[in-house]
């Protein structure tokens, strides 16, 4: 059973990378957000660097934690969709 779980995890990681790459290359909303972030990076850095060291570190850590939280949720939802797909295939008698 451990081998099956390992294979599934490897498969899911590979598919997640592929799906993410397809997404960032084709989703217009994502590309617009990415462009906004790129265009405003210097302004953001200027604002962050104007803070005292403690506030700057807190702001950076807070933003990182927000991003990590979203990544974690996205990965969990992605894996849940695989499980739901398998349940559906079983329900339909395909597997």
What is the pLDDT averaged over residues 50-74?
96
What is the model's pTM? 0.67
User: What confidence tier does 1 reach under pLDDT thresholds 50, 70, 90?
Assistant: low
Confidence at residue 62, expressed as pLDDT on a 0 to 100 scale: 98
> Which of 41, 37, 17 has its CA nearest to residue 29?
37
∠ CA 76-13-20, nearest 5°, is 80
Confidence at residue 39, expressed as pLDDT on a 0 to 100 scale: 98
- Residue-wise pLDDT for 2-49, tens only, equals 787 788 778 878 888 888 899 999 999 999 999 999 999 999 999 999
């Amino acid at each position: 059973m451990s081998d099956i779980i390992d294979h599934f995890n490897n498969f899911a990681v590979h598919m997640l990378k592929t799906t993410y790459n397809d997404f960032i290359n084709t989703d217009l909303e994502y590309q617009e957000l990415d462009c906004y972030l790129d265009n405003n990076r210097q302004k953001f850095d200027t604002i962050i660097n104007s803070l005292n060291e403690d506030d700057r570190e807190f702001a950076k850590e807070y933003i990182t934690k927000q991003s990590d939280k979203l990544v974690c949720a996205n990965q969990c939802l992605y894996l849940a969709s695989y499980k739901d797909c398998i349940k559906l295939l079983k329900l339909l008698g395909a597997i």
